[in-house]
Chains A and B, each alone.
Chain A
Amino acid sequence: MAKTPRLLASAAALFLAVAAQAEPDLEAGAKLFSKCTSCHQIGSNTKKRVGPNLNELNGRIAGSIEDFPYSKSMTKAGQEGLIWTNETLDEFLADPKVYIPKTRMSYRGMKDPEDRLNLIAYLNTFSANMASHSAGDPHDLDPAILALVGDKEYGEYLSGDCKTCHQADGSAEGIPPITGWPVDDFVYVMHAYKNKDRNHPVMQMMAGRLSNEEIAALAAYFADLEE
């Protein structure tokens, strides 16, 4: 049962870093999602509806659910490389018919940026393959690995390797922020790369050479990093 709050906490941490303006309110996001439920399913209920299922939305190629009757324009957008991320979802939701002309989605748009932030944060709690970070389930890992206490000073040194790409101030431009994550989530994600359960060649390589202690050290360091 500890799982839910951890997922929520990490989504919040991500949004803090990405949006930097407001902390997303997941409860508000859940309420806003009620506007979508007449057409879209999420969570364990995955029956087909008028709109596509929204599990694993963040990181998904647009128009890519097999057999779903998307509009031509949505399928084309996906073929041309559109991937749903915090940013693209935000633009799409603001004005769907402008972002994807001729989309079948008959929704006028969500004008308030804060509403969109909250809604996307809520959607992200159902996306384990997010283009950026999401936690997965730390309990799949050997408890001995999670129990390791990281050497922060060593983590700071090792973090030099991360900071060539991931910015220390948590800003995200094409590369996800990694500051302020709960320690367990960080450890889990790094082990997922190390074991090649997550797909990213650079991250598989970087995590692949780190020992359990080194991953713990990095997690401890980045968890508290504020610049």
Chain B
Amino acid sequence: MTEFNRRLFLGTSTAAFGLLAAPAVMAAAHGKPRVVVIGGGAGGATAARYIAKDSDGAIDVTLVEPSRTYFSCFFSNLYLGGFKEMDDLGHTYGVLASKHGVNVVHDWAVDVDPDGKMVTLAGGSKLPYDKLILSPGIDFVDDAVEGWSVAEQNKMPHAYKAGSQTELLKAQIMAMPEGGTFAMVAPPNPFRCPPGPYERVSMVAHTLKANNPTAKIIIADPKEKFSKQGLFQEGWNKHYAGMIDWIGADFGGANVSVDADAMTVTIDGEETKVDVCNVIPAMKAGRIADMAGVTDGNWAPVNAIDMSSKANADIHVLGDSSQQGDMPKSGFSANSQAKVCANAVRGALTGSRVFPAKFSNTCWSLIDTDDGVKVGATYEATDEKIAQVDGFISSTGEDSATRKATYEESEGWYSGIVADMFS
């Protein structure tokens, strides 16, 4: 498996020389310091790219990711709405390897030995590390929704990891009978992308309005309120009047079971036959975080200053898996955290300058054609957590030019973050 051999760094030898002369804290025992990143998504790809790029070959970076193509969850709702093609969402790892010298290994990490500082891959190989970065995204909590398990995901897709699940959900929506019912079981807090389920409802409604205008959407929600609720509900009334029925916790939305064979959803004792059922279960950190021993309950607590695990100073946890404080679980957040982490890890391994942690997030959502909204905030590190500093949200009743500009901006953001992860 030559893939596992560390790459020689080409074309940057002079720069690398300069850096090797700098105080290389960890270099003594085994040559170059080694960073292993598990998960090539918003957090992991960004961290690998920044550490490799900015250390100019002074650090050996290995990225472990099973998929050869990363399909972003961000903008996957727009695929359901017909605004994007699946191909628009797929990104590959070639440039990380060829331009930045990241050793990309397409395999699953199946175990972490924190004492021996070693990662084991499904293929059997072992990867030693000085610093380990985990950004494995989310997994689902077992038995979170009565009647649903991952075994049912072909009948009742979650589409909360993008790719084939998203395509399946779209195909089911397109195959709905005239006047049929689309049901969503929304997740409890905290979960990946707080506006995600509601942007999804908007996009499903957009598709149904064009193809199946008498169809209905019901949402069973265990929460009493949700992200950007005022903006979404205003938009639903405006664009999809009478189509969407949101059943929050106050009306029994938390009391839900499903039957995947009978295609029924029971909300607060009332059974409904549905044509599509999108179950988004409660979430937890990607499983490998458990194996690394860094979780406490469902998530992995981290120190805000550098995203290092509270359980192990040599393991950093980014993105959805981390429990950090005030930031929402978003691609933008994961990307932001990755850059703070990369700066700190590089500093620890090569003595490069370490700057104060600053984080930010903005989440755009599309409600209908050219009707985009956004919410965002900036954050800083305190001893206790990542704490919000400032924030904003789109207002209801904004003019159409502002909403269109907001949507166009979200397209710019997508190109930007993808370039920041993979280019």
Contacts and interface: CB of A to CB of B under 8 A. Distances in A.
A18 to B, nearest CB: 13
Interface of A: 61, 78-81, 83, 131, 153-154, 156-158, 160-161, 163-169, 171-175, 201-202, 204-206, 208-209
A165 B355 CA distance: 21
B417 A164 contact: yes
Contact of A166 (B360, B374, B416): B416
Interface residues of B, number: 40
A204 B413 CA distance: 17
Interface string B381-409: 00000000111101000001101110011
Given A165-B413, A175-B416, A209 B50 contact: no
A169 B419 contact: yes
A154 B358 CA distance: 12
B370 interface: yes
A209 B358 contact: yes
Contacts of B404: 81, 83
A102 to B, nearest CB: 21
A15 to B, nearest CB: 18
Contacts of A61: 401
B392 A175 contact: no
B336 to A, nearest CB: 7
Contact of B378 (A83, A164, A173, A209): A209
Given A81-B404, A158-B358, A174-B408, A205 B415 contact: no
Contact of B392 (A81, A161, A164, A202): A202
A80 B400 contact: yes
Contacts of B335: 164
B303 interface: no
Contact of B410 (A156, A166, A174, A201): A174
Given A83-B401, A158-B355, A209-B358, A164 B391 contact: no
Contact of B400 (A79, A154, A169): A79
B73 to A, nearest CB: 16
Most buried by A among B54, B335, B391, B413: B413
Nearest to A81: B404
Contact of B416 (A157, A163, A209): A163
A174 B411 contact: yes
